[in-house]
Amino acid sequence: MSARLEEAPVTSAEDSAKMTDGFHLVIDALKANDIDTIFGLVGIPITDLARLAQAEGMRFIGFRHEQHAGNAAAIAGYMTQKPGICLTVSAPGFLNGLIALANATTNCFPMILISGSSEREIIDLQQGDYEEMDQLSVAKTFAKAAYRINHAEDIGIGVARAIRAAVSGRPGGVYLDLPAKLLSQTLDVAQGKQSIVRVVDAAPRQIPAPDAVKRALDVLKGAKRPLILLGKGAAYSQADAEIRAFVEKSGIPYLPMSMAKGLLPDNHAQSASACRSFVLAEADVVVLIGARLNWLLSHGKGKTWGAPAAKQFVQIDIAPTEIDSNVAIAAPVIGDIGSCVSALLAGMGAGFNKPSAEWTGAIAERKDKNVAKMAATLEKNPSPMNYHSALRAIRDVLKTRPDINLVNEGANALDFTRSIVDMYQPRKRLDSGTWGIMGIGMGYSIGAAVVSGLPVVAIEGDSAFGFSGMELETICRYQLPVTTVIFNNNGVYKGCDPNLNPNKPDIAVTAFVKGARYDKMIEAFGGVGYHATTPAELSKALTEAIAAGKPALINAVIDEDAGAESGRLTNLNPKRTATKT
């Protein structure tokens, strides 16, 4: 029994006559921390918890599969810096939610997966309980932290611990195990009230050491060809004004990672996105702001980075263990991004020399050339549409609504959208992220629509969409302003691959039913479906759907031969050397 129970709290006579229970205390603890939404899927033992959440004024968004509820919670966490909550039943529901928790942890999104669990005594003796599983042990591998609450009087502190673990330092996914028995435990109302914890300063600022800031500035001052790389950690930090000031005051060209697009508008004069390969290979000093040197940046070495020329890295990150993860870092600056960037800005003073005209001029020249080449490709009108002509239409519509959230997954559908559709505001591009995962589409769309109240456009490969397609019903049920655009090329990467065995009737491993009408799916739930075969039809449908602010799906027919195997990641496929075994 905890100390809190032994110390008699101050109670009124009326309070002490009443009892509360685990169900109420969980809701009280979440509400006390300004958490107003739960994404989940009901069943034993948490149905009444979801009911009570609604009754107590919280929003419960019910899904068709827990993975998507988890993804909605994760993206809500990314967009708001408050942990998104996903609620599931035990064993299978928990496991379905776990993939979202693992993905959130990998992407550094704060979320809490709350799962009901079965009888501990039976689980521990493996006596075969209903939905038996040692969930806490399983979750530990995939989560930033994992806790179980065994006593009702610990619910307040348990929830507080989960919130702090999710959002402080490097954010991530936290698992909270609630045994069925806990929910029905009772407690004196006054004691219950006293046990609730409102977390103070859940993600404290972390101020960088002055000598680290000076070291970074010294490295930067010695640079001839500096470059800034913005990661989604920078976007998450909501230090938008400081980051923009640092980029502009330094005059250094920058590259946004995929989800950092829009942190500064993509049409910013200092953006080097249009000549990414050139700047990565040529830069001599690179300032990483909330970006990890993982596979997405070729681990900071090799041909991409112009090897064997040595680079110097300045790395701003909240996690000290990120430093030297792949290559040596000359100047680590550890702290929260806002504090670190502010300190660099202050240290730069008035006399900071902007990069040479030789460097910025070389970039501008290549940018102009690449932009002109791309414009010519985008202007073509092949029939059927290819990725370029379809995305030209989408780009032009989205330019008029920079506030829209753009969700994006697929292979070619992801790569071409990232490079063609410009973003103008921070945290509006939500995509497959660090894992390059398929299946985030509808979950992220629902989460983004619910927390922002703004429209969502999801650009989905037809394969990618399949992972979460049933959530169209959820979108229609809650009447969310989500327009899903399916890039329908009849398959994974391409729809026209052959089966290499001419004697077997099965279709190729990458191919789907030809000419599928995804637009009919949403009609089953009362949404509006469009079938678009030209850029003009696509543009009209998208404009109309966004203006309506209602659930819609556009089936955009794309040439089944237009894509490349694995999109831009063709080189990651292991090579087949033998032709026969």
Least Å distance, CB 490 to ligand TPP, is: 8
Question: Is position 70 an interface residue for ligand TPP (rule: CB under 6 A)?
Answer: no
- 347 or 436: CB nearest ligand TPP: 436
- 176 or 437: CB nearest ligand TPP: 437
- 65 or 82: CB nearest ligand TPP: 65
Could you say which of 98, 411, 446, 457 contacts ligand TPP (CB under 6 A)? 411
Tell me which of ligand TPP, Mg ion, none is bound by residue 567, counting a contact when its beta carbon lies within the kind-specific cut-off of 5 to 8 angstroms: ligand TPP
Cα dihedral 145, 149, 154, 155 in deg (nearest 10): 80
CB 390 within 8 A of CB 556: yes
- 426 or 567: CB nearest ligand TPP: 567
Q: Please give the Cα distance from 500 to 51 (Å, whole number).
A: 53
HEC-encoded secondary structure of 132-169: CCCHHHHHHCCCCEEEECCCHHHHHHHHHHHHHHHHCC
Burial of 12 (0-12, 13-18, 19+ CB in 10 A): exposed
Amino acid present at 171: P
**String marking each residue 478-507 x if it binds Mg ion according to CB under 5 A:** -----------x------------------
- 264 or 421: CB nearest ligand TPP: 421
Question: Is position 563 an interface residue for ligand TPP (rule: CB under 6 A)?
Answer: yes
C-alpha dist (Å) from residue 186 to 18, 62, 105, 386, 495: 10, 27, 34, 62, 58
Least Å distance, CB 437 to ligand TPP, is: 5
- 355 or 563: CB nearest ligand TPP: 563
Question: Is position 489 an interface residue for ligand TPP (rule: CB under 6 A)?
Answer: yes
Handedness of CA 425, 431, 434, 436 (dihedral sign): negative
Q: Which two tokens stand for residue 82?
A: 């408050």
Could you say which of 412, 419, 484, 539 contacts ligand TPP (CB under 6 A)? 412
- 201 or 506: CB nearest ligand TPP: 506
Q: Please give the Cα distance from 322 to 291 (Å, whole number).
A: 10
- 156 or 563: CB nearest ligand TPP: 563
Backbone angles phi, psi at 156, to 5 degrees: -60, -50
Burial of 410 (0-12, 13-18, 19+ CB in 10 A): buried
Tell me which of ligand TPP, Mg ion, none is bound by residue 397, counting a contact when its beta carbon lies within the kind-specific cut-off of 5 to 8 angstroms: none
Least Å distance, CB 107 to ligand TPP, is: 14
Q: Please give the Cα distance from 252 to 227 (Å, whole number).
A: 6
**Through-space distance between the first and last CA atoms of the chain, rounded to whole angstroms:** 65
- 169 or 384: CB nearest ligand TPP: 384
Could you say which of 63, 78, 487, 530 contacts ligand TPP (CB under 6 A)? 487
Least Å distance, CB 512 to ligand TPP, is: 8
Number of residues that bind ligand TPP (CB under 6 A): 18
Residue for token pair 């379905």: 96
DSSP 359-373: HHHHHHHHHHHHHHH
- 258 or 463: CB nearest Mg ion: 463
In sequence order, the β-bridge partners of residue 430 are 407
Q: Please give the Cα distance from 139 to 549 (Å, whole number).
A: 38
Could you say which of 179, 306, 461, 527 contacts ligand TPP (CB under 6 A)? 461
Could you say which of 462, 471, 497, 519 contacts ligand TPP (CB under 6 A)? 462
Q: Which two tokens stand for residue 411?
A: 């292979």
Question: Is position 567 an interface residue for ligand TPP (rule: CB under 6 A)?
Answer: yes
The residues, ordered by sequence, that sit 6+ positions from 464 with a Cβ below 8 Å of its Cβ are 409, 410, 411, 413, 414, 432, 438, 439, 441
In sequence order, the β-bridge partners of residue 147 are 176
**String marking each residue 423-462 x if it binds Mg ion according to CB under 5 A:** --------------------------------------xx
Could you say which of 86, 393, 413, 448 contacts ligand TPP (CB under 6 A)? 413
Q: Which of residues 164-193 bind Mg ion (CB under 5 A)?
A: none
Could you say which of 112, 272, 438, 475 contacts ligand TPP (CB under 6 A)? 438
Question: Is position 102 an interface residue for ligand TPP (rule: CB under 6 A)?
Answer: no
Nearest to 551 by CA among 471, 473, 482: 482
Least Å distance, CB 559 to Mg ion, is: 11
The residues, ordered by sequence, that sit 6+ positions from 41 with a Cβ below 8 Å of its Cβ are 62, 63, 64, 65, 66, 69, 87, 88, 89, 93
Least Å distance, CB 370 to Mg ion, is: 26
Q: Which two tokens stand for residue 274?
A: 């249009």
Least Å distance, CB 457 to ligand TPP, is: 16
Least Å distance, CB 226 to ligand TPP, is: 34
Tell me which of Mg ion, ligand TPP, none is bound by residue 511, counting a contact when its beta carbon lies within the kind-specific cut-off of 5 to 8 angstroms: none
CB 166 within 8 A of CB 112: yes
Least Å distance, CB 523 to ligand TPP, is: 22
- 38 or 104: CB nearest ligand TPP: 104
Question: Is position 384 an interface residue for ligand TPP (rule: CB under 6 A)?
Answer: no
Interface positions with ligand TPP (CB under 6 A) = 410-413, 436-439, 461-464, 487, 489, 492-493, 563, 567
